[in-house]
């Protein structure tokens, strides 16, 4: 939450591609730190995890939307892209859960973290092929987005606050997102210990259980595109 307040501005000024690369580097470092039985290093990894999670939910989406508009693609394609991304995310997560279970069975509890290092390294190689883009521009189709504007952090925060005050719906969206994130992270933290309490011998196939959860996300992604055609704000306006 602390990082998220300022990270969006940082991503826009620093560059979305660079921020995505930083995410991969942080994830590799986090998974390396998991190999050390040292509480301070593990706590450092959790702090880095908070930063990388904020990057995950800001840099990649911002880069995609900016490139979409820079290429002049129709705005309605964004809905389809987000729907496909959600469905694809679920499918990949299902496979990731199975892979994590296999890695844990073969290499022990540290196995999934070792697999994550290799896969994140592959993602890092792919990221170097992306074009860079920055925030602070008029993202109309065909507009250039090759360099950041020279705007201070305080000015950016003032502009954002003025926008929130002018449009109350943005505040409502923020509250909805906050409640959703609160419920989601409560579930994320509690599902493993809750299920472990129900398994007497502690032999819980967490990877397979996670894959089952991801099936639900995939179904949601498949439903999203159809539902948004009926319920979208743009359609009702």
Q: What is the pTM of this model?
A: 0.75
Is the CB of residue 68 less than 8 Å from the CB of residue 78?
Answer: yes
Which pLDDT score, from 0 to 100, does residue 124 have? 95
Q: Give tens-digit pLDDT for 171-215.
A: 898 889 889 888 988 998 898 888 888 887 767 888 888 888 888
Which pLDDT score, from 0 to 100, does residue 13 have? 83
Determine whether 180 is exposed, middle or buried from the number of CB atoms within 10 Å of its CB (0-12, 13-18, 19+): exposed
Which pLDDT score, from 0 to 100, does residue 141 have? 46
Which pLDDT score, from 0 to 100, does residue 170 have? 87
Which pLDDT score, from 0 to 100, does residue 31 have? 96
Q: What DSSP element (H or E) covers 53?
A: helix 39-56
Please name which of 65, 70, 59, 58 lies closest in space to residue 146, comparing C-alpha atoms.
70
Which pLDDT score, from 0 to 100, does residue 207 have? 83
Is the CB of residue 143 less than 8 Å from the CB of residue 69?
Answer: yes
Which pLDDT score, from 0 to 100, does residue 227 have? 80
- State in Å, rounded, how far the first CA of the chain is from the last one: 32
Which pLDDT score, from 0 to 100, does residue 143 have? 46
Which pLDDT score, from 0 to 100, does residue 135 have? 75
Q: Give helix then strand counts, H and E, for the chain.
A: 10, 0
Domain ranges of the chain: 2-166+199-230
Which pLDDT score, from 0 to 100, does residue 1 have? 60
| Tokens coding 124 | 């890092």
pLDDT < 70: residue spans in the chain: 1-5, 136-153, 202, 232-237
Which pLDDT score, from 0 to 100, does residue 16 have? 93
DSSP symbol at 147: S
Which pLDDT score, from 0 to 100, does residue 24 have? 96
């Amino acid at each position: 939450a602390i990082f998220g307040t300022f990270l969006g501005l940082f991503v826009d000024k620093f560059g979305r591609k660079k921020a995505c690369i930083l995410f991969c580097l942080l994830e590799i470092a986090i998974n390396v730190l998991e190999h050390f039985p040292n509480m301070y290093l593990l706590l450092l990894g959790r702090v880095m995890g908070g930063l990388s999670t904020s990057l995950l939910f800001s840099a990649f989406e911002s880069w995609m939307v900016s490139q979409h508009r820079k290429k002049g693609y129709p705005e309605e394609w964004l809905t389809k892209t987000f729907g496909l991304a959600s469905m694809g995310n679920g499918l990949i997560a299902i496979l990731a859960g199975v892979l994590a279970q296999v890695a844990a069975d073969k290499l022990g509890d540290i196995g999934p973290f070792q697999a994550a290092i290799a896969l994140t390294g592959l993602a890092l190689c792919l990221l170097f092929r992306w074009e860079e883009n920055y925030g602070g521009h008029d993202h109309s189709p065909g507009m250039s987005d090759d360099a950041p504007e020279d705007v201070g952090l305080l000015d950016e925060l003032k502009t954002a606050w003025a926008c929130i005050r002018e449009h109350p719906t943005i505040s409502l969206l923020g509250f909805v997102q906050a409640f959703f994130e609160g419920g989601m992270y409560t579930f994320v933290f509690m599902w493993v210990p809750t299920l472990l309490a129900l398994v007497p011998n502690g032999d819980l196939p967490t990877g397979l259980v996670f894959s089952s959860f991801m099936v639900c996300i995939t179904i949601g992604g498949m439903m999203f595109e159809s539902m948004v055609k009926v319920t979208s704000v743009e359609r009702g306006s």
